[in-house]
Amino acid sequence: MQRTAFSRLLLPGRLWPSPRPYLRTIYGIEFRRQTLRRSFSSSQCLSKSKKKDNAKGASASGSETKASQASASSDDPLDLSQLEDGIAAAVSRLKDDLSKLRVGGRLNPETIEGLRVQLGKDTKDIAKLGELAQVVPKGGRMVTLLVAEESYLKPISSAILSSNLSLTPQPDSHNALQLNIPIPPPTKESRDQTVLAAKAAMEKASNSVRDARGVVHKRLQTLVKKKAARPDDARKSQDKMDKLTEKGQKEVKDLFETAKKAMERV
């Protein structure tokens, strides 16, 4: 009876193994799955952090590269790009200023659009006329303003009358939001005023060229004092600097002379 009972007790163990290994197996599988999941998620985090680090590194290296290039440019006595840029900017501004002056009795619409308009007596709000009205040329002797709002009519008229353009805006009889500006024929006085304005613009551009040269010349002197530039390179840079400045001043003067001839032409 004891053996039978014992064998009966063993039979279930043979047919149905102890749940402990099964549970261990299950737990082992779950444990391995969790481990895989954790390793995968951690690898994603690592990859993201690596990407961020790489991006930061690339940005830092890019800024360092720009800084090194700027430093190399400022330490190179033969690099006169700063002077060239300054001369180009001065010439560009002069061309823009001259284009806004009356030439041969004609008025550039941009001259009117650029007038500053004070929107009210009790306010300091100022806007360009071109933001408040549309400027429409009507032939060579008339300009029409299509004003956006009725409240802008008086401030715009005041801005035109107080300018040095010698213009008188007139309300249109058919459109309450329209101003008509007759362009008077040029007189000797108006031509002289235009030439004076052009000369002032030329002098401003000439001073800008001179200032640009002064900045670069000061940088060159600093390099020589620090013994960061060889004497031969300093002399070459000085000669090139003088030639660029002379060329820039000549371009400024030629622009003025060309505009002056057109202004004096009837």
User: What is the pLDDT confidence band of residue 103, given thresholds at 50, 70 and 90?
Assistant: low
Phi-psi region of 30 (alpha: psi -120 to 50; beta: other; left: phi over 0): alpha
Q: For residue range 204-256, what is the model confidence (pLDDT) as tens digits? A: 999 999 999 999 999 988 888 888 888 888 889 999 999 999 999 999 999 99
User: Domain 109-182 adopts which CATH fold?
Assistant: Gyrase A; domain 2 (3.30.1360)
Contact partners, residue 206, CB within 8 Å, separation at least 6: 90, 249, 252, 253
Total residue count of the chain as it appears in this document:
266
**What tens digit of pLDDT does each residue of 131-158 get?**
999 999 987 789 999 999 999 999 999 9
Most confident of 100-114, 165-179, 218-232: 165-179
pTM over 0.85: no
Q: What residue has token string 């052009």?
A: 198
Q: Answer whether CATH 1.10.132.20 is correct for domain 80-102+187-265.
A: yes
- What the block records as the tokens of 120 is 């009210």
pLDDT for the residue numbered 53: 55
Cα separations in angstroms, 265 against 7, 102, 140, 178, 240:
130, 11, 15, 32, 38
User: Where in the sequence of the chain do the CATH 1.10.132.20 domains occur?
Assistant: 80-102+187-265
Sign of the C-alpha dihedral computed for residues 37, 42, 44 and 47 taken in this order: negative
Span(s) in the chain for CATH 3.30.1360.40? 109-182
